[in-house]
Amino acid sequence: MLVPSVPFTPSAPLSPSLPSSPGMPSSPFCTSRVYSSSLYSPVST
């Protein structure tokens, strides 16, 4: 379960690739973490 979480950690540089969303505050890094976590949350379960 933690394995898929590791490759998502370096997803930080991908945050600039998600600015397409209007709900992206000046902290895309934090949002990126929540976004990936939300997508992986249902997958982990």
Give pLDDT, residue 37: 52
Spell out the residues 6+ positions from residue 33 whose beta carbon is closer than 8 angstroms to its own: 12
Model pTM?
A: 0.15
pLDDT confidence band for 30 (50 / 70 / 90): very low
Give pLDDT, residue 41: 47
Residue range 2-25, pLDDT digits in tens: 444 444 444 444 444 444 445 544
Provide the H-helix boundaries in 1-45. Answer: 5-8, 28-44
pLDDT confidence band for 43 (50 / 70 / 90): very low
